[in-house]
Structure 1
């Protein structure tokens, strides 16, 4: 089975590419910038030019392809660009996949879409889910929560740099997940006929509230965090004032995404049944505390290496 991966340079997409290559899949990546995507080529993927904002570039990418995995998402503040890519472009991607008789289309979506149709990106993702179901292409949709990788910027770095952390006064559990594990589920779905034409709400084995994540970072960093609690009502108002969001790029991004994740979900109640469907054991999924521990260990090692290099430079200057 040959794969076309859209969004291969992204946080999730690159993990899908790497694991697919490791498993022996022929992988083609739709890219706009060959220089930025060169690392994918070095891994062994084929790069082909394609741009969701230019629908005519998409059909040639489908030649010889069996399955499409779309892990892409836009991050513009300009709604016109957003519509061009995440609506018009994704519709063109589905149409091209149908014309090419694609055997499976895996779409990475977001959780709680129905509650946030007032947010343009959420509305478009919801609409694309509907269009994909109507296309008659065999599909698998994964509705995802936050990534472990995003929590580094949101919690770990502020604790380390003694910066304030904005949290709501809600205590909602969110089942964050490592992108490596999400990639594992995406690829496993291609091997399991029972996952065809299904939508799965995918989350980690444990739900975490903000206070637990902050406490974990404090323990690993050996210092206290500056926490500013913001009522959810004020969060919504501030998010509207700052406009459309862009994850990790600006304050409106973080505020809006925090609002989405603050909707109660039932990840933890159905997680183990979901893992059973995909034939994945719970101990195969990376835990958040293990992920953070590894991050802090790597960081401390890097700081020690930098300190050693500085000492060596000082010695050389003295000599």
Structure 2
């Protein structure tokens, strides 16, 4: 019987967690939505349970016999990519709330929830995704389960690539705000490894901030791309005031876009924790400069 249930296994981070659990021969069950692409999970031989975070019967089936839940499920990436059947409200707020309640009712003992750094009161008021994550954190902290809150810094794969406006192949980079605040960009593989260890270790911490070993400002990131490619990149600056205005104006009408703008603002004004959390788990984190160098090599080959 699978004692671990993974939610979000068809996503990027969840897929990395699934691969690690499989490599270690740790049995687990993945809750997957009816129309999700499960090709990668099936190739790993993962036990699948078809359902939805808002489907009580599906949750009950997935959680039967489970002792640990690990969830990376979120609606931001898919909704900004154009999916209409997911949203922050449906997945991150209502879906996670339903999952917490169902897990508690099923007798789950441990709940590993991937949250985020940066959830200050001001940012929670501005960023719908942060508001949903904080609500889930509070539900977990009030539950009878042992909650493990995983709070990553900015992901290298997202915030050092085209999703955040860095397009080295076009010699173009968007700078959010002043671009002078150091950010400890963290690798998704390192966060995935941390989640596996937190799900299986005997005595996990209640919360852990995870960042990378190298804090770079936005301008330093662009500088690194320029050095690696031997070219100059055009920098388009989006002022802090524009980011804040857009986040506030779109918060109700387009909460996903508002979240992207608000998080970009936070990266320019906030402060995130570095590599101590990963190293406490015995993980030596990957530096952002290595990721930048790999991206630059890929561009040079095209």
TM class, shorter-length: 0.7 to 0.9
**2:20 corresponds to 1:14:** no
Q: Is the 8 A contact 1:164 1:226 kept in 2?
A: yes
The normalised TM-score by structure 2 is: 0.87
**2:124 corresponds to 1:117:** yes
Aligned-pair CA distance for 1:276: 4.4
**2:280 corresponds to 1:277:** yes
Alignment of 1:230-245 (within 5 A): 230-243=238-251, 244=254
Query: Secondary structure in 1 aligned to 2:19?
Result: helix
Question: Residues 285, 235 of structure 1: CA spacing in aligned structure 2 closer, same or farther, 3 A cutoff?
Answer: same
Q: Deviations over 1:65-106 (max 9, x none)?
A: 221111011124789953232222212211221122223110
Q: Deviations over 1:125-176 (max 9, x none)?
A: 1011010111110121011222111122156852221335233115211111
Aligned-pair CA distance for 1:29: 1.3
Alignment of 1:261-276 (within 5 A): 261-268=267-274, 271-272=275-276, 274-276=277-279
Question: Which residue matches 1:208?
Answer: 216
Per mean C-alpha deviation after superposition, the further-off stretch among 48-57 and 70-79 is 70-79
Cα RMSD of the aligned pairs, angstroms, is: 2.5
Question: Which residue matches 2:37?
Answer: 36
Question: Residues 181, 225 of structure 1: CA spacing in aligned structure 2 closer, same or farther, 3 A cutoff?
Answer: same
Q: Deviations over 1:9-42 (max 9, x none)?
A: 1121111111111111112211114561121110
Q: Deviations over 1:233-279 (max 9, x none)?
A: 23211333455454xxx6x55422211222432513xx33x344313
Rounded to whole Å, the distance in 2 between the matches of 1:3 and 1:182 is: 18
Q: Is the 8 A contact 2:21 2:28 kept in 1?
A: yes
Q: Is the 8 A contact 2:169 2:299 kept in 1?
A: no
Q: Is the 8 A contact 1:154 1:165 kept in 2?
A: no
Query: Secondary structure in 2 aligned to 1:160?
Result: helix
Q: Is the 8 A contact 2:166 2:173 kept in 1?
A: no
Question: Which residue matches 1:314?
Answer: none
**2:174 corresponds to 1:171:** no
**2:255 corresponds to 1:255:** no
- Which entry has the higher C-alpha Rg, 1 or 2? 1
The normalised TM-score by structure 1 is: 0.82
Alignment of 1:121-200 (within 5 A): 121-150=129-158, 151-154=160-163, 158-196=167-205, 198-200=206-208
Query: Secondary structure in 2 aligned to 1:12?
Result: helix
Q: Is the 8 A contact 1:155 1:217 kept in 2?
A: no
Q: Which residues of structure 2 form unaligned runs of 5+? A: none
Rounded to whole Å, the distance in 1 between the matches of 2:164 and 2:149 is: 29
Question: Which residue matches 1:310?
Answer: none
Rounded to whole Å, the distance in 1 between the matches of 2:91 and 2:272 is: 31
Q: Which has the higher contact order (CA 8 A, sep 6+)?
A: 2
Q: Is the 8 A contact 1:31 1:48 kept in 2?
A: yes
Question: Which residue matches 1:306?
Answer: none
Rounded to whole Å, the distance in 2 between the matches of 1:80 and 1:191 is: 30
Rounded to whole Å, the distance in 2 between the matches of 1:121 and 1:254 is: 9
- Kindly tell me the number of residue pairs found equivalent between the two proteins: 291
Q: Is the 8 A contact 2:179 2:219 kept in 1?
A: no
Q: Is the 8 A contact 1:245 1:256 kept in 2?
A: no
